Amino acid sequence: MKTKKKTERIGIVSLGCAKNLVDTEVLMRQLDENSFQLITDPSGAETLDAAVINTCGFILDAKNESIDTILDFVKMKKEGRLKKLFVIGCLSERYKNELANEIPEVDGFFGVNELPVILQSLGSQYRKELLGERHLTTPGHYAYLKIAEGCDRKCSFCSIPSIRGSHVSRPMEDILHEAEFLAKKGVREINVISQDTTFYGQDLYQKRLLPELLQNLSCIKGIEWIRLHYTYPDGFSPELMKVMRENDKICKYVDIPLQHISARILKSMKRGVGSRKTWNLIASIRKNIPGVAIRSALITGYPGETHQEHLELCDFVRKARFDRLGVFTYSHEEGTTAYQLKDSVSGSLKKKRASELMDIQQEISLELNQKKIGEKQKVIIDRKENEFYIGRTQYDSPEIDDEVLIRTAKTLSIGSFYDVKITAAENFDLYGEIH
Ligand code: SF4
């Protein structure tokens, strides 16, 4: 039962990854039901009763962005425009005590699993009956669906297990209930996320159940596209490839961070997968899921990375010909096992190596895109920008991948699918016309 309309205005900021965004949306749904006025662009607000910043804290750049944002709101508070300031999420989970000492103006620092306590501090109560409900902040036709929390892996460079804890799969019925809620709200595209998506079910059901989960998600009325993110190299089963190959609703898209290709570095990274297995897996995914687009992520400048190992990584990018690629510079994170190693590659050299890798990828992306000219593609329309409708194919995840720009006299509806003939290509975008 919705309580009487409060006038309290709460500013919400969500930093970091899509997993954090889902947590923010869950919090916003609870605040909705407690009848707070939610301000999703609080930095421009004249006054606020409270602000909640959901922070990111796994690498240096993300930590700096979170701290800068907190300090912006501390300034707002000092100017008398903000009454209460709360900080939640990964940075807060990781550095709660240090932050509380250094930024005493913040009224409360909360971790990643403290929703009821956060709501209490905001003068409201956690409502169990809202489990699986969210206040969507993405455009209404797509949403992220978090299927698990935490990670059991021991990747040497990664602080996430120390922040988010060990892998906890959500019960399948809860995930399906949430997906049905999203479908009823008009969501057509589900982006499946977690830290280690291919591990889904192992802890809860002693069996990896991602193929079954995808099959069940595809039976939900209204859901047209289901896309997989954050898969782990050693979890890619033939059953998973079969479901991806045979089920039309599952996008022929695999997001699989591989991090490096040098055998020495993969071993030091404790990835549990060597370079030969990496190559075999890429070949197997492409053989078993015809036409699949592979997105990967690589780390450059890992401790001790030699020039030769960097060249090996360049050669890997040249030959693997990923459809989509993200390159990150190594961040020396205390609490990780790699922190004991010397952070030997300078910041400027890390950046230089990262841009060399992306230069190679840019050429590959253009070649792959040019091959699509003349093809007919199913495109979901995300928005209109000047004279173009902007959309994506099943091979493109929101906000991180390529887009299709469509110029047409017709009025297209946002969130709908259209058949589009590709007419031109650029490094990371396609142009098309309604077919
Ligand atoms: S799989 Fe590795 S990199 Fe990914 S969250 Fe887990 S420990 Fe971190």
Residue nearest to atom 8 of ligand 1 (CA): 158
Counting atoms of ligand 1 from 1, which one is nearest the CA of 164? 5
Task: Say if residue 7's pLDDT is above 80.
Answer: no
At 84, give phi and psi (nearest 5°).
-125, 140
Q: Residue 42 maps to which CATH number?
A: 3.40.50.12160
In the DSSP assignment, the letter for residue 235 is: G
Q: Residue 401 maps to which CATH number?
A: 2.40.50.140
Which helix (H) or strand (E) is 89 found in, with range?
A: strand 82-89
Does any ligand 1 atom lie closer than 6 A to the CB of residue 210?
no
Ligand 1 centroid distance, CA of 151 (Å): 6
Counting atoms of ligand 1 from 1, which one is nearest the CA of 154? 7
- 244 shares its domain with 366: yes
pLDDT (mean) for 188-217: 98
Boundary-marking domain end, from 74, 106, 130: 130
Domain membership of residue 27 (yes or no) is yes
56 in Cβ contact with 91 (< 8 Å): yes
pLDDT (mean) for 172-196: 97
Residue nearest to atom 2 of ligand 1 (CA): 155
Domain membership of residue 4 (yes or no) is no
- 100 shares its domain with 170: no
- 282 shares its domain with 386: no
Boundary-marking domain end, from 370, 388, 408: 370
pLDDT band at 43 (very low <50, low <70, confident <90, very high): confident
Ligand 1 centroid distance, CA of 32 (Å): 33
CA 229 to chain centre: 7
Residue nearest to atom 5 of ligand 1 (CA): 195
Does any ligand 1 atom lie closer than 6 A to the CB of residue 232?
yes
pLDDT for 44 equals 84
Helices 60-78/90-102 angle, 10° precision: 50
Domain membership of residue 304 (yes or no) is yes
In the DSSP assignment, the letter for residue 338 is: G
- 308 shares its domain with 361: yes
152 in Cβ contact with 101 (< 8 Å): no
pLDDT for 392 equals 98
Domain membership of residue 3 (yes or no) is no
pLDDT for 111 equals 95
pLDDT for 35 equals 84
Count of C-beta atoms within a 10 Å radius of residue 120: 13
- 123 shares its domain with 146: no
User: Among residues 181, 108, 107, 136, which one has the least CA distance to residue 27?
Assistant: 136
- 94 shares its domain with 179: no
Domain membership of residue 148 (yes or no) is yes
- 153 shares its domain with 293: yes
Counting atoms of ligand 1 from 1, which one is nearest the CA of 271? 2
- pTM here is 0.95
Q: Which two tokens stand for residue 394?
A: 């099943």
Q: Residue 312 maps to which CATH number?
A: 3.80.30.20
Task: Say if residue 4's pLDDT is above 60.
Answer: no
pLDDT for 3 equals 52
pLDDT for 34 equals 87
Domain membership of residue 58 (yes or no) is yes
Question: What are the pLDDT digits (tens) for 287-307?
Answer: 999 999 999 999 999 999 999
Does any ligand 1 atom lie closer than 6 A to the CB of residue 155?
yes
- 296 shares its domain with 404: no
**305 is in which domain, residue-wise?**
142-370
Length of the chain: 435
Q: Which residues pair with 380 in a beta bridge?
A: 392, 417
Please count the structural domains in the chain: 3
Boundary-marking domain end, from 350, 370, 390: 370
Does any ligand 1 atom lie closer than 6 A to the CB of residue 195?
yes
Question: What are the pLDDT digits (tens) for 83-142?
Answer: 999 999 999 999 999 999 999 999 999 999 999 999 999 999 999 999 999 999 999 999
366 in Cβ contact with 425 (< 8 Å): yes
Does any ligand 1 atom lie closer than 6 A to the CB of residue 259?
no
User: Among residues 159, 231, 144, which one has the least CA distance to residue 190?
Assistant: 144
At 121, give phi and psi (nearest 5°).
-65, -20
Amino acid at 381: I
- 247 shares its domain with 314: yes
pLDDT (mean) for 379-389: 97
Rounded distance between C-alpha atoms, residue 170 and residue 385, angstroms: 38
Q: Which two tokens stand for residue 119?
A: 């709501």
Name 52's Cβ contacts closer than 8 Å, sequence gap at least 6. 10, 11, 12, 13, 27, 86, 87, 88, 118, 122
Mean pLDDT of the chain: 96
- 272 shares its domain with 394: no
